[in-house]
Structure 1
């Protein structure tokens, strides 16, 4: 341990940052130490970077000129076209359990042509509409005929159009839309899932479906990007009755080539993700830190720049705390969703990381970079003191810090050495 600490001190000193004052430290929750090795395989993945903020674009229907991506965006989730600027990888959109975006296949079409493909709730009459959207029909993903139709109708045309990634949306570990079963070709009811949204049969079906989609895409030299949104506030409910919840999330992320998480550390609300919910999200991201990922942080305002400076800096501070080279960041308000946002905070660049994330004391997390450090206090109630390395540091909005500082609860700081 002595030699390891001396080596770390030497690296930090060489970077001109000195040492943070000794405090209680916790190990990084990543699966292994060290930098992420380049991904091996035969499918295309986004070009990564080991410094600054690598952005993603989620939907692009409000981006008239994709040349704005150059040098800033590595991946477009659900692009309108496969052609993109050099270095930008585009994906084509489908949903996991319904026929979006093929609107021509209406619920009436399914009732007429394939009534045995439709999934219903427990009343055996109401289709298991997702988000109460009655345009797209919930379909039986375990049916081999459905799978063949899904790939030939929704995926093959996208591959033919030049897309190298298939973006699969709305994948749920929970059966939140109450899929119960379907009718067979003879009109007999087939019960598939119980009333508990945590039914293991549902998880098993979803895992099998995701493996099928991945293997189908890989056989054609194409990657898959799964929207697997983790909701930490549900964790206790799952742990009480189904400790396999996090294991299922981990398996689904492992199956994916690129992972999109819409929850992030803001969740479209004024209150940030804090306390135990924050810890669950942070640990999940660090466990999968070498997986190409997009973490979206939706803010509660119409536009990103209308949110408070504190919340905007919170987003970037968390990104720099958990990120490794394959991690991408998407940030948006309500009305600039699907637009390319000129966000000054996303130009933050502290150089490359020289330590993993380190927990200091009961609440505070820090990570040293060659040109500064990122600091996150995810407690909702408890402030924390920190002694900065020698020198003066400036945050993303021009505020300067030096010496001993107090980091308020629910605060993130990106501090560049002046």
Structure 2
């Protein structure tokens, strides 16, 4: 029944996005050998009626063990995978996983593969052999340069990436062409853009201020302009989704400004802090409000809380916080960015709370929310949290 309700919950994601037990780690069951025979409904973002259920998010690569795919299809409700993962993606869909499954792409950079005969990483748009060599030689104006006129390189997972200029018309055109190419596969439901920097924060910390942009306003205008172009030229006409990881924020203003150009966003450090565990009560409340305002604006939000697998207290605090603000357009994951391919599953995920009876409400220093078959409480001052069944 839970799988059917989850399928219904996503049976309204593309249309609404178009304009207009005691706490602890649960033991994962061995995946059954027989796959479900039901076909997922057409995806939408608006939950039908009062059906508001928690959804777990999975990203960006398949799990290490193939047998865990059935478990993901059954227990997780939102997926982001990468080009090259089509086989696992299609297995998930055949097993009854909810649509859409989004394709991961880096927004900020391409793989600087200097061996022109080697296949580049497929987590970015220059994914064909020789792409970097051609772009480097023939389109130097596509690169983002620092104030010394040098390209900006980044090391990631033993590979080198180079940043691109979102304001370059040629780069925008190339990016759009590759999006069209990869999304021609009908089983991709849209794109998730990682590393959409919205301020100079990351550039400042690395002393890599971009030469072409005198201030942050111009930098923001370039990236927002590229997102607007992608929506106008491809995502809105095609009905596919455009999500982004809004990075390098200094406040909530940048978040809300970027929501106008995308269908959903990821908050990769929500409700709790890493490695310091808990956030201040004020910051916790701001992040709760941000999640509520995002959903109220008709957008989807992926809430990621960072921690360690064995920190059950922190996980329960984060998950209970999510249950306070889930209004049907939010997915949750408790994980660590170094271990995204590991399946972390906790006993409270199995609690069937039913539909929420209303929004969260204050109770002294704590916040509560009543559900049909239970209740949730979080105290951001004492860090107490409970998820209880009636």
Q: TM-score normalised to the size of structure 1?
A: 0.69
> Which residues of structure 2 form unaligned runs of 5+?
1-10, 19-42, 111-122
Cα deviation, residue 281, structure 1:
0.8
Cα deviation, residue 341, structure 1:
2.9
Cα deviation, residue 166, structure 1:
0.7
Cα deviation, residue 139, structure 1:
1.4
The one of 309, 313, 333 aligned to 1:310: 313
Cα deviation, residue 106, structure 1:
6.5
Name the structure 2 match of 1:405: none
Are the aligned partners of 2:107 and 2:195 in contact in 1 as well (CA < 8 Å)? yes
> Which residues of structure 1 form unaligned runs of 5+?
1-36, 182-190, 236-245, 380-408
> Which whole-Å deviations, capped at 9, do the CAs of 1:333-362 have from their partners, x for residues lacking one?
35541233333222233211112111233x
The one of 132, 141, 152 aligned to 1:128: 152
In structure 1, distance between residues paired with 2:248 and 2:240: 25
Are the aligned partners of 1:53 and 1:349 in contact in 2 as well (CA < 8 Å)? no
Q: TM-score normalised to the size of structure 2?
A: 0.74
Q: 1:373 aligned to 2:381?
A: no
Residues 88-167 of structure 1 aligned to structure 2 (within 5 Å)? 88-99=99-110, 100-101=123-124, 102=126, 104=129, 108-125=133-150, 127-130=151-154, 135-153=160-178, 155-162=179-186, 163-167=188-192
In the superposition, relative to structure 1, how do residues 46 and 280 fare at CA in structure 2: closer, same or farther (>3 Å)?
A: same
The one of 234, 239, 245 aligned to 1:221: 239
In structure 2, distance between residues paired with 1:271 and 1:248: 25
Cα deviation, residue 370, structure 1:
1.6
Give the number of aligned pairs: 320
Matched residue SS, 1:137: strand
Structure with more helix by fraction: 2
Cα deviation, residue 322, structure 1:
1.0
Residues 285-324 of structure 1 aligned to structure 2 (within 5 Å)? 285-290=291-296, 291-299=299-307, 301=308, 304=309, 306-307=310-311, 309-324=312-327
Cα deviation, residue 261, structure 1:
1.4
Are the aligned partners of 1:374 and 1:415 in contact in 2 as well (CA < 8 Å)? yes
Q: 1:283 aligned to 2:284?
A: no
Matched residue SS, 1:318: helix
Greater gyration radius: 1
In structure 2, distance between residues paired with 1:360 and 1:52: 23
Name the structure 1 match of 2:115: none
RMSD: 2.7
> Which whole-Å deviations, capped at 9, do the CAs of 1:32-52 have from their partners, x for residues lacking one?
xxxxx9564476546858344
In structure 2, distance between residues paired with 1:46 and 1:73: 16
Name the structure 1 match of 2:358: 355
Residues 220-299 of structure 1 aligned to structure 2 (within 5 Å)? 220-229=238-247, 234-235=250-251, 246-290=252-296, 291-299=299-307
